[in-house]
Amino acid sequence: MEMQLPPHEGSELSVVDMHTGGEPLRIILSGYPEVKGDSVLSKRRYVREHLDHLRRVLMYEPRGHYDMYGALIVDSELPEADLAVLFMHNEGYSTMCGHAVIALGRFAVDYKLVKEPKSPETQVNIHCPCGLVKAFVEYSEGKTGGVRFLSVPAFAFATDVTVTVEGFGEVTVDISYGGAFYAFVNAQRFGLDVSKSRTRDLVDAATAVTRAVKCQVKLDHPASDDLAFLYGTILTDGKDDYSSEPTANICVFAEAQVDRSPTGSGVTARVALQYHKGLIQLNQTRTFQSGATGSQFTGKAVEVSRFLFSCGIRVITSCSKSGKRQKCIL
């Protein structure tokens, strides 16, 4: 007996699902309407104001889930960029995403968005809303491997800031930027362990911190007001002094969304913070571990750079594995 499916109605969106360190990335191949704007930041505003229904289709159930993450490839105004990208999640649109950059590096080479890949590494210039990020993809005998990326300048915004957190009283946090702003606090302040405590308890504590910082601390970015918002809170194991042993953290961002990876932009921000405090030196590689999955990224500060009115550092973050899951039509 043959069954005939009803005619398809609505938009047809073609995507490829990948992951980096367990954190998903849904890359939209086709089906999106024209995204208007003369810059990546203006395109980000356009999709937020005019095409947000498609974000909900891709991120929410039944096609997605609460912790889904997405990437929409768009045109860049920068001649040196191989591609530009808009990031999306359960709340809206981010300005930077390191795990996505790692996956997009492999995607760009595998899907031939970069001409003539080279061994041992192929450079992929990815224009993110926060700026140009350079990914370096291992390439040998037609296959891609590990990926590292040189991020935009990162900087410590404020240290030892005291905020009043509902249910916890006064809490001291650090705030740092790695393409997005994060608040950092030792999980032990809440009697929690980033690798052993219940995820729900970690999420509740981090979310309470995020709400407090958003209400009580005014952020600003030297390049654009569009970048001046708190993306989330990262709870750490407190092991900030340099060590060859991994240090663990868990990132809760957007609308209480949990990152399965160590968080690429979060690692960048944490390296900048540790460098600012004199806990690590230039070119000292640290290993950062996800409290959720145990996956690891490495990161190091490679140079001091001055931009506009701030002083920042350039950070390289890398991951040895980024896996493809499946191609699907929504």
Instruction: State the DSSP H helix or E strand holding residue 215, giving kind and residue range, or none if neither.
Output: helix 199-216
Q: How far is CA 239 from CA 32, 118, 156, 282, in A?
A: 44, 38, 18, 18
Q: Is 97 a residue of the active site?
A: yes
> Residues 6 or more apart from 10 whose CB is under 8 A from it?
none
Q: How far is CA 310 from CA 42, 161, 231, 272, 273, in A?
A: 24, 19, 20, 13, 14
Say if strands 286-290 and 247-253 run parallel, antiparallel, or are unpaired.
parallel
> In sequence order, what DSSP letters do the residues of 48-62 get, joined into one string?
HHHSHHHHHHHHSTT
Distance CA(173)–CA(163), nearest Å, equals 8
* Separation between Cα atoms, residue 233 and residue 251, nearest integer Å: 6
Residues annotated as catalytic are: 97
